[in-house]
A and B are shown apart, each in its own frame.
Chain A
Amino acid sequence: MKKTGAEIMWECVVREGVEVVFGYPGGANMPIYDAMLSYPIHHVLVRHEQGGAHMADGYARASGKVGMAMGTSGPGATNLVTGIATAMMDSVPVVFVTGQVAAHLIGGDAFQEVDVTGITLPITKHNYLVTRADEIAEVVREAFYIARSGRPGPVLIDICKNAQVEQCEFVYPETVKLPGYQPVDHAPKDSLEHAVKLIEKAQRPIILCGHGVLMSKAEEALINFAVKTQTPVASTLLGLGAFPASHELSLGMMGMHGEVHTNMAIQNSDLILAFGMRFDDRVTGTLKTYAPHAKKIHVEIDPSEVHKNVAADVPLVGDLKTVLSDLIPLVDEYDHEEWKKQINEWKSEADSRSIMNWTDDGKLYVPHLIADIWKATGGGAIVTTDVGQHQMWTAQYYQLDKPNRWLTSGGAGTMGFGLPAAIGAWFADKSQEVWAVAGDGGFQMTAAELTTAVQEGANVKVAIMNNSFLGMVRQWQEFFFEKRYSAVNMLSPDFVKLAEAHGVPARRVTRREEVDEAIAWARSIQGPTVIEFKVEQEEAVYPMVPAGAALDQMLQRPTKS
């Protein structure tokens, strides 16, 4: 049967299981929007394409499915760029569809023409420029397959306007033919055996749990492996939630703002089992002194991540869940009592400095607020963040026991991610409670999406941690630039009035005793709410490994006098 290119696109998209699309129409994608009306697709009209990209990203992270976002040509597409880069850095499967000027106009600087495939080449897993309708079915099929398989990531399809309106015979491609793209599942047997030998010898092993555990749905395999070998589990920022925080083997977050005992354990370990993580500079500190006594087993689906930052003694390239399932029967049981005792000693030493021990002085500290939200929600909400101090505090104090509830921009560190990602996550499961924790800076980058939340009735609770500073930059200026504050004082609008102007109920909290009631109030309302917390202005995130320092050279919170 003959169909237009736009119809063919939706035929294929619907077959991929897409139900919700975040986007913005314009001249070059109008045929796509016209055809959309005939398909069972819920379209969310965003206020800025960046917001749409983050929504699709948040949807994908929370649902485990492929997200989808659209924009028109030119500025519509370039506005997506930050969101595409965010998804790329965190390996999130999102398919982006942009309109493009008609094929015969390409290269002529036509109205709203931008070389989108050129711009997005380094920030997509793959991208396509489609100039003919008969290419669309195959391309859409491939795009979704590439986005979700192997190491997931964003794929962009740039469709020329003529290809959207031209008609051709629609044949759904049953298979995908990609000779150069074949992700591997199993690691070779001899490598597994080599790994088992290292595990046998280890006295002080540690597991580094990354985002790959979630991507591969290997949470259960990880628990089985950790319990069988009694190996403590440290988590990267994006790996949080993959291993239950309340588990006795859980060490919490590693790295620049990781737990002291966790970083100490890494530096003193004799075997690192890196599971689906990529030794980012934020988790290693300086590589020169990183885990100097440890052999490294690196389980990773992307061969280019092996040996990239840290040389692996045994690389196991494959799907994490498959590799762990192959590995578990081969390893023996261990207890590692002494090693766990040593880690616990470091932990109790560090805990004594914790801000959570501070007695109530009536002021608002973000860590306390995060713990309050955690208590109120039973630790079960989906939590998104922006980037900066509040992000690190949320990572530290919103202790997650379940996967796919922690949505944060890790690799790219994208401000403005929190609110739109929360809206996207709500679409993944509308029965879930969703909290967006944001700073005063990041919130203002995508605040316009509040109206999107209202239009969609998205039940998203925004908590703005307002310290009237760009907090993390201020902290660095305090620590490393002799407190010469440069461009970090931030005037914000009246957030309560701003929210109310969008039609969002809002409150301001300035005193400790108002906190619990405000959180309960927000939770009692169906639909978006905003709470602005006026928090301590010059608090710092501890512990902190200064950039370029060794992982165990942490600045710790001064004991309170």
Chain B
Amino acid sequence: MNYTFIALVENKPGVLNRVASLFRRRNFNIESLAVGRTEDSKVSRMTVVVDCPNGDMDAHKIEANLYKLVNVIDVQDVTHQPSVTRDLALIKIKVGPEKRAEVNGLAEIFRAHIVDVAADSVIVEITGTEDKIEGMIELLRPLGIVEMVRTGQVAMTRGVNDGVRRVPGVTGNRYEDLDDLAEMGP
């Protein structure tokens, strides 16, 4: 099944490559990977969705291996935690004026938006869980999808809950403590 991890990493050149290379080297299949800045300019946040055929055992391997990367600060598994997950898709549909209303109707149901209208096409923007986006795509497909782009999933746990940190010995350093940490001597 798919597991969702949140990794906080140092915002430095090449870190994305290190993470991607690790997944390739350890033979894990990335379903989706989204990277972006956080409220702290020194920290980037990755949401990685990975196929884990061996369940928690694989999840442990992924977490432990991510920690081997010097630039990885924190890893949480949010698969089984109450969390908000979102994906964003832009979908271009080949429709003329006669069918715009139909697209508009569908978009309203899905709380999607039409963000561009051209003579013979429209772009729909939809945000939501994977399921919701898949649902809309299925309905739009008969109208003629000509182009689609998706951001990949991002996730955030609800309330004060953290994800699971199952690597023994690693305390799961929260990045707020960044300045307190790692004042290490020789």
Determine if B57 and A182 form an interchain contact, defined as CB atoms under 8 angstroms apart.
Answer: no
**B167: nearest residue on chain A (CB-CB)?**
A303
Distance between B27 CB and nearest chain A CB, rounded to angstroms = 12
Q: Which of B70-78, B79-87, B101-109, B129-137 contacts A (4 or more CB under 8 A)?
A: B70-78
Q: Is A363 an interface residue (CB 8 A)?
A: no
**A176 near B182 (CB under 8 angstroms)?**
yes
Provide the main secondary structure of the chain B interface: mixed
Interface size class of B (residues with CB under 8 A): 20 to 34
B110: Cβ under 8 A from any A Cβ? no
| Chain A residues closer than 8 Å to B73, beta-carbon distance | 179-180
Report the bound CA distance from A184 to B170 in whole Å: 7
Q: Is A292 part of the contact surface with B, judged by Cβ < 8 Å? A: no
Are B168 and A315 in contact (CB-based, < 8 A)? Answer: yes
A-B contact count (CB 8 A): 86
**Which residue of the partner chain, among B21, B61, B184, contacts A308 with CB atoms under 8 Å?**
B61
Distance in Å: Cβ of A202 to nearest Cβ of chain B: 22
Min CB gap A96→B, angstroms: 16
CA distance A74 to B70 in the complex (A): 25
With contacts A180-B70, A303-B67 taken as known, whether A122 is within 8 angstroms of B184 at the C-beta atoms is no
> In the complex, which residue of chain A has the Cβ closest to the Cβ of B75?
A180
Does A247 reach chain B (CB closer than 8 Å)?
no
Which residues of chain B from 152 to 172 have a CB within 8 Å of any chain A CB?
Answer: 167-170
Q: In the complex, which residues 297-344 of chain A have their Cβ closer than 8 Å to any Cβ of chain B?
A: 302-304, 306-308, 311, 315-318
Whole-angstrom distance between the Cβ of B170 and the nearest chain A Cβ: 6
The answer on a CB contact under 8 Å between B170 and A303 is yes
For residue A18, give the distance in angstroms from its CB to the closest CB of chain B. Answer: 14
Residue among A126, A304, A316 with most chain B CB within 10 A: A304
B173 touching A182 by the CB < 8 A rule? Answer: yes
Q: Other than A145-B184, A179-B181, A304-B61, give 17 A-B pairs with Cβ distance below 8 A.
A: A117-B14, A122-B21, A125-B70, A175-B185, A178-B70, A178-B184, A179-B73, A180-B10, A181-B182, A182-B181, A187-B168, A306-B168, A307-B57, A308-B61, A316-B168, A317-B169, A317-B170
List the interface of chain A (C-beta within 8 A of B): 117-118, 121-122, 125-126, 129, 145-146, 175-182, 184, 187-188, 191, 302-304, 306-308, 311, 315-318
Q: In the A-B complex, list the 5 residue pairs whose CB atoms are closest, starting with the nearest.
A: A317-B169, A304-B64, A303-B64, A184-B169, A180-B73
**Measuring CB to CB, which residues of chain B are less than 8 angstroms from any residue of chain A?**
9-10, 13-14, 17-18, 21, 25, 57, 60-61, 64-65, 67-74, 167-170, 173, 175, 178, 181-186
